Amino acid sequence: MTPNATAGNDASQLTELLYGIMNTSSRLITYCEMVIGPDTAQPVDLRYRLANQALFDLFGLPQEAVIGKTITEVNSPFQQTGIFTRLLEAAGKRQAASFEIFTTKRWFLTNVTPVLQGVIISFSDITHHKYTEQQNEQALQLLQRVLDASPYSIVYCSSEKDTDGQIIDFEYQMANKRVEDVIGIPPEDIVGVKMTTLFPGIRENPLFSLYVAVVETQQPQSLEWLLQLGSFNNWYLITAVPFGDGFVATIVDITRMKKLQIQLENTIKELKTSNEYLQHFAYIASHDLQEPLRKIQAFSGLMLTEYSHLVGDDGADILYRMKGAAQRMQNLIRDLLVYSRISTQPQSFERVPLHNVIDTVLDDLEIKIQEQDASVVVEALPVIEGDPVQLQQLFLNLVSNALKFVRPDQKPEIVISCHQIAADDLPLLLQSSQQAYYVISVQDNGIGFNQDYQERIFQLFHRLHNQNTYPGTGIGLAICKKAAENHGGTITARSAPGKGATFSVFLPKNIAND
């Protein structure tokens, strides 16, 4: 065999080996020689000299239809103007280049490497990667829109650590539009910015410690934070939850709520002071005011007994009126004291059998019940949690009214009953409550009243009848209402003129009955 034949065999074997290596790659690989133009030293085309099977499969052509032909001669995706121009440009500079191209609905990462009188061009299919990248981008855009639609400020920060693994800073990675409402800076201007750059001295702030704790413990935490930044001087509720090596924080402006809270605290202080004044007044009323009244009653009674013959009938009438006025004043002060105590003193709740309360009330009214030959029927009553003194005052007023508001020739008939009430049947005021309720009814056969007055009769000093016909202070039902409300309930009335009345007391069914 001649040397030329041997060299030819070696070259053929080398080419075959090169083809074998190229075909083992999933990339599209080709070696192209530059076609230099006659009037320029720059390439005007590229001629295929070697290529692997993956390239032929993409073109849909056999090897002999490609090898030896130029790019412009072969109908392929690389004839697209943009791709062809970039390949010529890379070949002409004789420098390695890398760029992405899109063709036939597929993305390729193109690497161009100058070799001999041409270039090796490899194409890596990155279509899946690009679609995933696009999907991620779309997901980020969707997330950004969702965040921007939130009424609250939301940020995502990654952590920055030192060589010992300690968190020394945070960097803003994402923020919604509402952030500008908090710090006065558009969200795009804080993304990529360090927290310590935006807020110098933040490391000494409890908020920074909270963020560090969230990342290190991987547990959510919240903090009320007063932000003083330029013209901003607002309160925020910040809730941070761990996310990766950072956190996501939701920032809610609670400035208005904090101002209301301060106002409420001030109001509570004022109410406390007012209650102390009321309690002081109650002390004065129970001692200093009632003593002169008792003397007026005593002296007027003494004058009627000992000196009525000296003052005559007209004088005696005046003394009777004076004594009656003093008694009414004393009754008024007594009822005001009761209302004041119920309104201002804290409740001391305990287990209260309502049967015992009603028994005490009936004992207190025993003489009046006997005088009027009244019938009082008491059905089964529950045990509740309550203040026994307030409950006794409540039912004492209701039963007293049932005995009072009857025709002179009528025997009072009173029925006291109880049943548990469905939530839908509760008064509107209680329907939002999650508790079960009892309704204790006090029903009578008295003179009744117009239903139009069902709300007004519970107002302080409101009376429906003349003092001479049905004496009273106009405070009793107001005391009933306040006592019921103190127990988490309420009271209503149902009546008609001449048809009697039913007063319904709604009280929570609670632990005392479990």
Tell me the one-letter amino acid at 446.
Answer: G
State whether 380 and 505 are in the same domain.
yes
- With a CB cutoff of 8 Å and minimum separation 6, the contacts of 85 are none
- State pLDDT tens for residues 157-177: 999 999 888 999 999 998 888
State whether 190 and 245 are in the same domain.
yes
- State pLDDT tens for residues 68-96: 888 888 877 777 657 788 888 888 888 88
What's 498's domain CATH number? 3.30.565.10
The closest alpha carbon to 386, from 395, 376, 398, belongs to 395
State whether 30 and 57 are in the same domain.
yes
State whether 173 and 269 are in the same domain.
no
Q: How is residue 365 written in tokens? A: 């009214």
For residue 327, tell me if it sits in a domain: yes
Q: Is the dihedral angle over the CA atoms 146, 148, 154, 157 positive or is it negative?
A: positive
Enclosing H/E stretch for 339? helix 308-344
State whether 386 and 484 are in the same domain.
yes
The closest alpha carbon to 176, from 193, 205, 154, belongs to 154
State whether 106 and 187 are in the same domain.
no
Judged against a pLDDT cut of 60, whether residue 513 lies above it is answered with no
State whether 392 and 439 are in the same domain.
yes
- At residue 299, φ and ψ (nearest 5 deg) are -70, -40
pLDDT for the residue 303: 75
Q: How many domains does the chain have?
A: 4
Of 102, 125, 148, the residue at which a domain comes to its end is 125
Which residue is listed with tokens 């090169």? 18
- Helix-helix angle 476-486:388-404, to 10 degrees: 150
pLDDT for the residue 514: 43
State whether 49 and 114 are in the same domain.
yes
pLDDT for the residue 511: 46
Q: What is the mean pLDDT of the chain?
A: 80
**Cα distance between residue 107 and residue 22, in whole Å:** 20
**Cα distance between residue 65 and residue 60, in whole Å:** 10
Please provide the size of the chain in residues.
514
pLDDT for the residue 429: 74
Which residue segment(s) compose the domain that 355 sits in?
A: 349-513
State whether 277 and 224 are in the same domain.
no
Tell me the one-letter amino acid at 120.
Answer: I
What's 83's domain CATH number? 3.30.450.20
Q: What b/e string do you get for 207-236 counting C-beta neighbours within 10 Å, with b at 16 or more?
A: bbebbbbbbeeeeebebebebeeeeeebbb
State whether 356 and 341 are in the same domain.
no
Q: How is residue 293 written in tokens? A: 């009244």
- State pLDDT tens for residues 217-235: 999 999 888 877 666 678 8
First-to-last C-alpha distance (Å) of the chain: 113
pTM (2 d.p.): 0.46
Question: On the CB side of 53, how many CA atoms lie within 13 Å of its CA?
Answer: 8
